[in-house]
C-alpha cells in the first residue's frame, strides 16, 4: 500500500467510510429483530482506523455508531485484519473504546489475505443449519489482487451474510487494456473473462467499458450464489478528472438489505444520478459545494412510466407497490415516495388513507395508504 494513503482523508474516502458505517448498525438491527446471539462485522483490510490528519476511517466510524447503541454494544462482534496496521488500529481503537466497551471483545489480526489459510477457511465455511454468526464483510483491497469471486460467493451462501466490495475499476480496466494479470482476471471473472475481453474491444466509450466490467462482475456473483442475489453499485468519480476511479458494490440475498443500501447510496449521491439502464448512484468530489442546475428528475419520469405499466387499473397499498416493485429496480424508497406523490398530483393515481388520521401529504409508503392507478 502507498505509505501516503493514510496521511490525509479524501472526500471520496470519507463517503466510502460513512456508507459502510451507516449501513452496518441498521443491518444489525434488522438481523436482531429476531433472537440472535451475535452479529459480526469483518474488515480484512482495515487500515489504522484514522488518518494522520485525525479523521476516522471505517473501523472507528462504525465502532462509534455501534457503541452509541445499548443493544449493539451487547450483540455486535467487530473483527478487523490488516497485515500492516493491526497494532496501530488496536491502539487507536482502545483510545476511543476502552476494554469492556463491547460485550464481545474486538479482534485484531495481521494476516495476509490471499495467503492465510484460516481466512479462506472462514470465508468458505458453509453452516448446514442457520448461520449463527451473520456477518457483513467489508472487502477493500489495495487494487484487486485478492478478489476471488468464487470464494466470496461461498461466504454469501450463509444466511445473513453480506458483502461490501470496493473495486478499483480504473486498474481493472487498465489490466484488460494490456492483456496482463490473467490469474487475477480469472479470479475476478471465472466464467466470463474471455467474453468480457472480446466485448470490451467493441465498446468505444470508456464509461461503457466500465459498465460492461461491473455488470459482468455482478453476474459472476449471481451465477455462483445459489438463489436470489441483489447487487447495488455506488460510483466514485476521479477527484481531479472526469473519469471514474472506484465502485463500492453491495451484495445481499434479501430484499430488505437491498432496500436499505439503496437508500443509503441515494443519501450520499451528490449528483442526482439517473438510474435508468446503466446509471449508478454516484459521488463526485468535484461537485462538493457547488450549486447544480436542476433540469428535472429523470428518475421520477422513468419510474412513473414503469409503475403505470405494472399497476395500471389496479388498487393496492403503497407498501405492496413498493415491496413488489423495488427489488426489480435500482430506485430506493425516496424515489418511490417522490414518484407516487408526483403521480397523484398529475392524476395518474388516487390515494386514500384507512387509518382515520389527517395527513399533510398525499402518499405514505405503508399499509394504510391505498393507491388506485388510472
**Domain coordinates in residue numbering, the chain:** 11-287, 298-373
Please tell me the pTM assigned to this model. 0.94
What pLDDT shows up at residue 279? 85
Average pLDDT over residues 100-115: 96
- Residue 307, CA distances (Å) to 202, 228, 372, 373 in order: 34, 23, 12, 9
Average pLDDT over residues 139-161: 93
Backbone angles phi and psi of 342, in degrees to 5: -65, -45
What percent of the chain has pLDDT above 90? 77
What pLDDT shows up at residue 129? 85
Spacing of C-alpha 340 from chain mean position:
25
Q: Is the pLDDT of residue 1 over 60?
A: no
Q: Is the pLDDT of residue 262 over 60?
A: yes
Average pLDDT over residues 348-360: 97
Average pLDDT over residues 189-210: 84
Higher pLDDT: 330 or 142? It is: 330
CATH dotted code for 11-287: 3.40.50.150
Among the residues of the chain, which ranges form H helices? 11-31, 58-67, 70-75, 86-96, 117-124, 149-156, 169-178, 182-188, 193-201, 206-224, 255-268, 298-311, 318-325, 333-345
What pLDDT shows up at residue 145? 81
Q: Is the pLDDT of residue 293 over 50?
A: no
Fold of domain 298-373: Arc Repressor Mutant, subunit A (1.10.10)
Amino acid at each position: 500500500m502507498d505509505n501516503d494513503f493514510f496521511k490525509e482523508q479524501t472526500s471520496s474516502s470519507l463517503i466510502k467510510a460513512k456508507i459502510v458505517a451507516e449501513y452496518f448498525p441498521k443491518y444489525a438491527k434488522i438481523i436482531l429483530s429476531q433472537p440472535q446471539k451475535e452479529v459480526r462485522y469483518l474488515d480484512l483490510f482495515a487500515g489504522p482506523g484514522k488518518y494522520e490528519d485525525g479523521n476516522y476511517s471505517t473501523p472507528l466510524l462504525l465502532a462509534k455508531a455501534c457503541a452509541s447503541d445499548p443493544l449493539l454494544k451487547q450483540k455486535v462482534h467487530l473483527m478487523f485484519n490488516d497485515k500492516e496496521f493491526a497494532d496501530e488500529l488496536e491502539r487507536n481503537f482502545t483510545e476511543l473504546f476502552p476494554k469492556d466497551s463491547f460485550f464481545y471483545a474486538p479482534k485484531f489480526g495481521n494476516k495476509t489475505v490471499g495467503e492465510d489459510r484460516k481466512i479462506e477457511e472462514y470465508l468458505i465455511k458453509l453452516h448446514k443449519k442457520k448461520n449463527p454468526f451473520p456477518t457483513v464483510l467489508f472487502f477493500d483491497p489495495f487494487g484487486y489482487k485478492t478478489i476471488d469471486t468464487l470464494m466470496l460467493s461461498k461466504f454469501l451462501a450463509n444466511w445473513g451474510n453480506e458483502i461490501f466490495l470496493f473495486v478499483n475499476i480504473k486498474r481493472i480496466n487498465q489490466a484488460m487494456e494490456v492483456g496482463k494479470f490473467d490469474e487475477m482476471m480469472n479470479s475476478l471473472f471465472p466464467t466470463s473473462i474471455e467474453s468480457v475481453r472480446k466485448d470490451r474491444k467493441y465498446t468505444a466509450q470508456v464509461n461503457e467499458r466500465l459498465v460492461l466490467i461491473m455488470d459482468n462482475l455482478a453476474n459472476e456473483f449471481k451465477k455462483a450464489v445459489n438463489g436470489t442475489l441483489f447487487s447495488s453499485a455506488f460510483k466514485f468519480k476521479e477527484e481531479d478528472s472526469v473519469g471514474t476511479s472506484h465502485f463500492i458494490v453491495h451484495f445481499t440475498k434479501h430484499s430488505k438489505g437491498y432496500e436499505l443500501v439503496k437508500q443509503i447510496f441515494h443519501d450520499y449521491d451528490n449528483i442526482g444520478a439517473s438510474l435508468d439502464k446503466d446509471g449508478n448512484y454516484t459521488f463526485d468530489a468535484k461537485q462538493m459545494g457547488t450549486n447544480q442546475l436542476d433540469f428535472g428528475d429523470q428518475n421520477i419520469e422513468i419510474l412513473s412510466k414503469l409503475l403505470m405499466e405494472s399497476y395500471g387499473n389496479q388498487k393496492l397499498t403503497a407498501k405492496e407497490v413498493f415491496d413488489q416493485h423495488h427489488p426489480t429496480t435500482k430506485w430506493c424508497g425516496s424515489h418511490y415516495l417522490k414518484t407516487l406523490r408526483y403521480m397523484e398530483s398529475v392524476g395518474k393515481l388516487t390515494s386514500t388513507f384507512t387509518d382515520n388520521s389527517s395527513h399533510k401529504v398525499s402518499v405514505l409508503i405503508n399499509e394504510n395508504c391505498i393507491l388506485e392507478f388510472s
